[in-house]
Amino acid sequence: MAQMERISVGTDGAEGNDDSSEPAISADGRYVTFRSAATNLVADDSNGNDDIFLHDRNTGITTRISVTASSLQGDGFSRRPAISGDGFFIAFESASTDFGFDDDAGAVDIFLGVREDACPADPGKLFAGVCGCGTPDTDGDRDGTPDCLDGCPSDPGKVSPGACGCGISDTDTDGDGTPDCHDPATPQALRLLLRQALAVAKKLTARARDREALVEQLRMISSSLLAAENNSAFSGKQRQLLGAAAQALTDLASANGRSATRKRAKAVGVLRKLLKITRR
């Protein structure tokens, strides 16, 4: 059996005291927006013009949409409402000139109203969106992931640091399971890594303030040199020295006291030798 429901009523259920028309309904049927000349659907409706209203069929609440955020009612008629699928946005035509847009052309304009401000403390958002109230949904690197969820907000190629960190590709040129950032795939990349290793090794003294950080750097570089041993871009001699350099750095990272001086000298020597034949 068909059921009928009157929508053009006030929150208290009172029927409208004038004509209502031009209804539009949300996708789930919960919200219905319409035009009405009734003056008793909401309190303080005294502009004498047709307004746009929204009725929530679940709660029974009727809200006037064609008003400003401070509840200033329009000084002209409003008509032809359209509602978004979720019932949050309501677009409509209006001849009102007092909605706060320096409207003095005397023409009917199109306005967009909202059911409610879901982020009342956030002047930049009307609804929570992806990032929530108080956090903009901006996507600085334009990779389709908002900054609030992007682990690399300035790197359009990554949304998480991955193995190599933001701004560095996780490419594995030689396909050995170790990305190039930890596995130099070209002589140029190897030279850069060797220069870095030399700089760190020279700084690693018994009195170095950042000793722990330097030790960690040496161990990471040692791992990278080991990963490069099977890289076809390097000669047999270079591969042999890669292993020796990796071991020398590991020994230096673990050394203490007087032995550290000898280990550092050995590591520097192997690194320089490897750097020399890599320049050819």
pLDDT at 6: 95
Same domain, 230 and 213: yes
Same domain, 151 and 204: no
- Kindly state whether residue 12 falls inside one of the protein's structural domains: no
Same domain, 140 and 71: no
Same domain, 164 and 94: no
What value, to the nearest 5°, has the Cα angle with vertex 219 and ends 213 and 225?
135
Parent domain of 200: 180-278
pLDDT at 280: 61
Long-range contacts of 57-64 (CB under 8 A, 24+ apart): 57/5, 57/7, 57/29, 57/30, 57/31, 57/32, 58/30, 60/11, 60/13, 61/11, 62/9, 62/10, 62/11, 63/115, 63/116
Nearest Cα neighbor of 76 from 34, 32, 109 is 109
Q: How far is CA 180 from the centre of its chain?
A: 27
Same domain, 230 and 187: yes
**Strand bridging mode 78-83 / 109-114:** unpaired
Q: How far is CA 184 from the centre of its chain?
A: 31
Same domain, 86 and 139: no
Sign, CA dihedral 102-104-105-107, equals: positive
Which structure tokens are listed for 173?
Answer: 């040129």
d(CA 137, CA 146): 6
- Kindly state whether residue 135 falls inside one of the protein's structural domains: yes
pLDDT at 179: 85
Which structure tokens are listed for 178?
Answer: 């170790």
Same domain, 50 and 74: yes
pLDDT at 26: 97
pLDDT at 128: 87
Same domain, 155 and 236: no
| Total of domains in the chain | 3
- Kindly state whether residue 29 falls inside one of the protein's structural domains: yes
Tell me the pLDDT of the chain (280 aa) as tens digits: 678 999 999 999 999 999 999 999 999 999 999 999 999 999 999 999 999 999 999 999 999 999 987 889 999 999 999 999 999 999 999 999 988 888 777 789 999 999 988 888 998 888 888 999 999 999 999 999 999 999 999 999 999 998 888 888 888 877 778 888 778 888 888 888 899 989 988 888 877 888 889 899 889 889 889 888 888 788 888 888 999 999 999 999 998 878 888 998 999 999 999 989 887 6
